[in-house]
């Protein structure tokens, strides 16, 4: 069995794509649409290290791995856009600088940087506050109302999003009913 890693998740996903980078997905109500994928070319390691040094960035090994495989990507594209995207390093820096001009809390400004976005929801952030201690980042999602803490690293978050075929898996929930009462 393979380990969860950025490269394994992307390799397995890409092996299922047709010659046009399309994948049939199972959607709600029995719909079976094709969704597309756009993978940018990788960034060279020397260029990435220079950008990290010049911008005083703290990147997790997972995020670096993604950028060295694909310096940005759009996942589950369709006629109106995409389900989610992960930014190139240049886009991430641009979005971070934009974030600094808005009314985000000091915690977000000091400990987080945007790595992508979920369509119609908001930015995907990496909380790097514990990267130096644990080597792992934490993924957050900001929307207009709340911050969602996925309590997982980029490896696990990306794997879940691919398994869920781009759907917002965190919105799925169930209620247990026992003896007519919700518990």
Q: What is the pLDDT of residues 156-165, one digit of tens each?
A: 999 999 999 9
Q: Please report, for residues 6, 7, 45, 58, the alpha-carbon distance to residue 61 in angstroms, rounded to integers and kept in the order given.
A: 10, 12, 12, 10
Instruction: Express each pLDDT in 130-162 by its tens digit.
Output: 776 776 788 888 877 788 888 889 999 999 999
Q: Are 71 and 42 in contact (CB under 8 A)?
A: yes
Q: Could you tell me the pLDDT band of residue 16, with boundaries at 50, 70 and 90?
A: very high
Over residues 52-79, the mean pLDDT reads 93
Q: Structure pTM?
A: 0.87
Asked whether residue 181 carries a pLDDT value surpassing 80, the answer given is no
């Amino acid at each position: 069995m393979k380990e969860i890693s950025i490269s394994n998740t992307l390799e397995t996903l890409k092996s299922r794509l047709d010659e046009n980078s399309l994948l049939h997905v199972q959607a709600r109500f029995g719909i079976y649409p094709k969704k597309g994928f756009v993978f940018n070319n990788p960034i060279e390691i020397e260029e990435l290290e220079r950008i990290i040094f010049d911008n005083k960035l703290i990147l997790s090994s997972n995020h670096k791995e993604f950028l060295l495989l694909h310096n940005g990507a759009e996942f589950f594209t369709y006629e109106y856009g995409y389900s989610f995207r992960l930014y190139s390093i240049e886009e991430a820096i641009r979005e971070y600088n934009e974030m600094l001009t808005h009314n985000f809390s000091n915690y977000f400004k000091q400990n987080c940087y945007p790595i992508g976005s979920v369509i119609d929801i908001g930015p995907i952030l990496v909380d790097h506050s514990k990267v130096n201690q644990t080597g792992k980042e934490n993924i957050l999602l900001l929307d207009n109302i709340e911050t969602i803490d996925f309590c997982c690293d980029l490896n696990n978050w990306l794997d879940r999003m691919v398994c869920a075929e781009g759907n917002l898996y965190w919105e799925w929930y169930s209620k247990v009913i026992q003896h007519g009462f919700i518990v």
